[in-house]
Structure 1
Amino acid sequence: MAPQTFGRLHPCSPGPHASISPVVSLTGCHYLLRANAWLTGHHHPYDERTLDITGTGIMGYLSIPKINVQLPIYHGTDEAVLQIALGHLTGSSLPVGGETSHSVVSGHTGLPSAKLITDLDQLKKGDLFQYTVLDRTLTYEVDEINVVLPGEMDKLNLEPGADYSTLITCTPYGVNSHRLLVRGHRVSNPPAEKVAAHYDEPESMLWTAIAIGAGVLLVLLLLAIWLVRRRGKKRKAAQTLESASDNHGTEQRADSGTETTEHGNRT
């Protein structure tokens, strides 16, 4: 399968500048099976019942603590799936880990009806994401972030001995002309409290920002009150001084008048 065709396997909501390839007219089953052959070099049917013990189509769940994402993963990347959840790219490894594996999970960005993985671009190297599949939890640490054209899918290749997983979404927001690939390598599961701390971090940062903002406002308010009082005291002092000066002038004029009268009487 040509890379250009494979590039259309992630059916993102097209932005005003995104091009529409004729391959979209192919049926989902047809091009997903072709993708499977392109990735693995083997033609074989794909059983969507794999890992779906509940019969709902869900194979597992993705958690991204940093951006507070917890979403189900369905088989395939049909538009009906991507409107509400994440899709496993058929032909890539299943998200169960193992040597020489590379699972690929796709999701939408910028839907008006759901946030999904719109904030995926906030991830940086070293951040974690996790899969929960059956009774297992698999943790991946982000080690590579790329923005590529739809046909540039070499980053999804298998590497001998490596255990990779890549998250895909469209970028930039509202244009969707490229693909954002966030790859992670398998690491040991961190303690539960560390994961919980990641989920609490955005909220704690919000409260920290609110506390800092409130402190700044309080300082500004106290400063304003001090300035008003200081100006009031200065104004009052000036008025007192002016009043004293007026009184002194009046007394001087009164004394002068008295002296004039006394002088006249003596005369």
Structure 2
Amino acid sequence: MKKSLISGMFLAVILIAGSLLLAYPFISDGWNRLHQTHAVMSYTDTVDQMEEEAYKHMLEAAYDYNRKLAERGVDWNMDQKEMGEYYTQLNIDPSGVMGYVHIPKIHVMLPVYHGVDETILQTAAGHLEATSLPVGSGSFPAENASFPDEGGYGSHCVISGHRGLPSAKLFTDLDRLTEGDRFSLTVLQETLTYEVDQIRVVEPTDLSDLQIVPGEDYCTLITCTPYGVNTHRLLVRGHRIAGSMDDTAGESWMLRFWPDLIIAMAAVLGLLFLLIVLMIVTRKKKPH
């Protein structure tokens, strides 16, 4: 009886460990999505409470920052003073969130933070410091833009995200995007829509495709590739277009979260079922 009990307990431990291992990516990603949702909602609430004058001043300062950046050119080796100026831009609270990126095709909506520190990229997207702020050139309103940018100086912001993490999907499916797909950036209350027009794989040190092009308003999404190897960088560039995305832009966070939640719940229920069966079998083997 003792041997049977020990065998049953050992099998139970194996089943629990295996089930938790299988469920971990779904549970962890779901947990991270909840945190991402909270960060986005907290950001929008804070923006909604801003005074009109403060809002206008912050947006104009961001436009001015982009104009000066375009005039002097991108400097990938920012000094301490430049970094200090950068971190004051679009800084509405201590969280460091400057907006959020939405990619309907791959069901991604992530808060975008200042900088690309590893601590940020583990759970969210980051804005590459040396590039244009994600507000465009400011020569036209976000909702009724006319293109190309008649202001002439252009802008090119770069948003970075990890892929292949066991704890969060983030930009894992970025390689599914094709030319013509759309994504958007929302900063303050301004939503800018971009249409993918170029997809490239480059060496990590090749920054030529991230330069500002006069008269163009670009945003590039960047992640590591190939999947799990990460020796190169996948660059998905979009040019800004007038109007907004289709109805999928408004799909709810819960609709994106439900599939993973269902899988995680199914794994837990399956584990409980196996444990119950194991307990019944073990009891039947006990002598009366």
Give the TM-score range, shorter chain: 0.5 to 0.7
User: Which residue of 49, 66, 82 maps to 1:44?
Assistant: 82
* Pairwise CA RMSD: 2.9
Amino acid at match of 1:155: D
- Structure 1 residue 54 and structure 2 residue 93: aligned? yes
User: Which residue of 202, 213, 228 maps to 1:159?
Assistant: 213
User: Which residue of 194, 209, 213 maps to 1:140?
Assistant: 194
- Structure 1 residue 94 and structure 2 residue 133: aligned? yes
1:69 matched residue in structure 2: 108
Is the Cα contact below 8 Å between 1:166 and 1:182 reproduced in 2? yes
Moved more, 69-78 or 194-203: 194-203
Is the Cα contact below 8 Å between 2:74 and 2:212 reproduced in 1? no
- Structure 1 residue 115 and structure 2 residue 153: aligned? no
Report the CA distance shift for 1:84/1:36 in structure 2 as closer, same or farther (over 3 A): farther
Deviations 1:88-115 (A, max 9, x none): 0011000001251000010001011111
- Structure 1 residue 170 and structure 2 residue 224: aligned? yes
Amino acid at match of 2:128: L
1:185 matched residue in structure 2: 239
Amino acid at match of 1:62: V
- Structure 1 residue 125 and structure 2 residue 193: aligned? no
1:103 matched residue in structure 2: 157
Amino acid at match of 1:190: S
Q: Which has the larger radius of gyration?
A: 1
The percent of aligned pairs where both chains have the same amino acid is 54
Report the CA distance shift for 1:128/1:201 in structure 2 as closer, same or farther (over 3 A): farther
- Separation (CA, whole Å) in 1 of partners of 2:192 and 2:181: 14
1:188-227 alignment runs, 5 A limit: 188-190=242-244, 193=247, 195-196=249-250
Unaligned regions of 5+ residues in structure 1, if any? 1-34, 204-267
1:226-245 alignment runs, 5 A limit: none
- Separation (CA, whole Å) in 2 of partners of 1:191 and 1:120: 18
Deviations 1:20-79 (A, max 9, x none): xxxxxxxxxxxxxxx9623899x8343313112132100000000000000000000100
Deviation of the 1:192 alpha carbon: 5.8
Deviation of the 1:189 alpha carbon: 2.4
Report the CA distance shift for 1:201/1:184 in structure 2 as closer, same or farther (over 3 A): farther
Please state whether the residue corresponding to 1:71 is helix, strand or coil.
strand
- Separation (CA, whole Å) in 2 of partners of 1:198 and 1:145: 28
Unaligned regions of 5+ residues in structure 2, if any? 1-72, 138-148, 258-288
- Separation (CA, whole Å) in 1 of partners of 2:204 and 2:175: 17
Deviations 1:205-255 (A, max 9, x none): xxxxxxxxxxxxxxxxxxxxxxxxxxxxxxxxxxxxxxxxxxxxxxxxxxx
Please state whether the residue corresponding to 2:247 is helix, strand or coil.
helix
Is the Cα contact below 8 Å between 1:87 and 1:105 reproduced in 2? yes
- Separation (CA, whole Å) in 1 of partners of 2:93 and 2:223: 27
Please state whether the residue corresponding to 1:38 is helix, strand or coil.
coil
1:83 matched residue in structure 2: 122
Deviation of the 1:186 alpha carbon: 0.2
Please state whether the residue corresponding to 1:81 is helix, strand or coil.
helix
Amino acid at match of 2:194: Y
Q: Structure 1 segments of 4 or more deviating over 4 A?
A: 197-203
Instruction: Identify which of structures 1 and 2 has the higher relative contact order when contacts are C-alpha pairs closer than 8 Å and 6+ apart.
Output: 2
Report the CA distance shift for 1:190/1:70 in structure 2 as closer, same or farther (over 3 A): same
- Separation (CA, whole Å) in 2 of partners of 1:202 and 1:124: 21
